[in-house]
Amino acid sequence: MSKTSAGFSSSGAASNAPGQSSKETERKNLIQQVLSAKTHYEVLGLPQTAEEKDVRSSYKRFVLLIHPDKVCQSAEIEKQRAEQAFRAVQVAYETLSDERLRRTYDAQVRSGG
């Protein structure tokens, strides 16, 4: 059973922990996705063929959901994870939205670096 980005399984059942909103669940899932990503594309949940508008759109979505100020009620460890993820999203966006940096990055990824 797969989960969607809204925190629901494909069967339509909520996958939230007790007392946890779907936004909180989505935030935690996105933070985990970002922190386990191996490439800037994975950080933003995009294919390597993504256009600049897709990079920008994904960046905005992530920033709105995982900005450290959005997790101010969470435990300290969650705040730290959000800060790490937020920094990774910023670096990915800065790299993939700049044509020259993106070409250099893509060449490094292709060469295994």
Per domain, the residue ranges of the chain are 23-110
pLDDT at 1 over 90: no
Query: Higher confidence at residue 9 or residue 46?
Result: 46
d(CA 57, CA 55) in angstroms, rounded, equals 6
The three-point CA angle 38-12-28 to 5° equals 35
Residue 48 has pLDDT above 70, yes or no: yes
What's the pLDDT tens digit per position in 82-105? 999 999 999 999 999 999 999 999
Residue 44 · residue 92 · CB < 8 Å: yes
Whether the pLDDT of residue 7 is over 60: the answer is no
Checking if the pLDDT of 4 tops 80, the result is no
pLDDT mean across residues, the chain: 83
Dist CA 92 CA 54 (whole Å): 13
d(CA 18, CA 39): 33
CA–CA distances in Å: residue 10 to residues 7, 19, 95: 10, 21, 33
Chain centre to alpha carbon of residue 17: 20
Global confidence as pTM: 0.76
CATH classification code of 23-110: 1.10.287.110
Please tell me the predicted confidence (pLDDT) of residue 79: 85
